[in-house]
Chains A and B, each alone.
Chain A
Amino acid sequence: MEAVLARIDDRFIHGQVVVGWCRRLDPDRLLLCNDAIAADPWQCSVYASSVPPRYRVDILSREATAALWRDDRGTDRTLLLTGSPADMLWLVQAGVALAEVNVGGMHAAAGKAELLPGVYADAADRRALADLLAAGVVLFAQSVPGAPRHPLTRDLLQEATT
């Protein structure tokens, strides 16, 4: 399995992903990794129904995602989605090797401050992002393929914390 894009997006599957990134990258499958959604067949069907039929969709727990990554010998070009930096970090720590992660959709919410244009994070998010950087993962904020790519650096995280 090869990650053509690993993206953190709290909307999971939506226009920016399906129309924006899928059109550009043409992945073989979308893998939505989220414990709560994977545990609820109805929610799985809601998210799966919003993907054009040409893409295979898998909605898996973090455990199942890491196991699939470890055991799968296929060559599927996969677009991997998590809803939070913490889940992406969990996967990396469980052995999912990712060179870079797209910090795509982290929307404003109570307790979150703007880190980069359109990217909001709280202390737990910043900690997980810092740990991803420490694990050697390159982070970049970019909503869609045509939008500017902003590197998300350790300095930026430190500035936001102080």
Chain B
Amino acid sequence: MVHGLVITHGDLGREMLRVVELVMGPVPGLTALSNDGASLPELSERIGSVAAAAEEGLLVFTDDFGGSCTTAARLALRGRQARLLTGVNLAMLLEFAAWRDELPLAELSGRLVNTGREAISEVVPTPGDTG
């Protein structure tokens, strides 16, 4: 079973997991970390210990590309069985919970990128919407 780790600014990740569990029930092996007050080495170390415990691989989600969460993850995941996805959204985490038992890491990762992108759309206004 692939493990998941959501690394974000503030409590974003923890709150996203709370919502995922409201919808899907408990998701063992899916955890969150915040970069609040953490130096880069400290954050990297915490990510490294989560990765070490994930025997069938770790999928890491971060909130933005170019932030300390992503940099810390890249530094921590060097040489490990892990994939890193930036721009986490709720759809990706729900898809992760649904498919983590079925798919190996690389396939799961690709699937979640598509799911995340497809979740972003503009709801085209119909005459009824404009009142």
Contacts and interface: CB of A to CB of B under 8 A. Distances in A.
A108 B66 contact: no
A50 B66 contact: yes
A42 B75 CA distance: 9
Nearest to B70: A50
A46 B67 contact: no
Contact of A10 (B40, B66, B67): B40
Given A42-B78, A109-B42, A15 B37 contact: no
Given A12-B40, A107-B42, A108-B37, A51 B66 contact: yes
A47 B72 CA distance: 10
Contacts of A11: 39-40, 68, 71
Interface in B34-77: 37-42, 64-68, 70-71, 74-75
**Count class of interface residues, chain B:** 10 to 19
A161 interface: no
A54 B96 CA distance: 35
Contacts of A105: 39
B38 A43 contact: no
Contacts of A42: 78
Nearest to A15: B67
A50 B71 CA distance: 8
A40 B68 CA distance: 19
B87 to A, nearest CB: 14
Given A15-B66, A18-B66, A46 B71 contact: yes
A107 B66 contact: no
B65 A107 contact: no
B27 to A, nearest CB: 28
A157 B70 CA distance: 33
B78 A47 contact: no
A13 B71 contact: yes
B75 A15 contact: no
Contacts of B66: 13-15, 18, 49-52
Interface of B: 9, 37-42, 64-68, 70-71, 74-75, 78
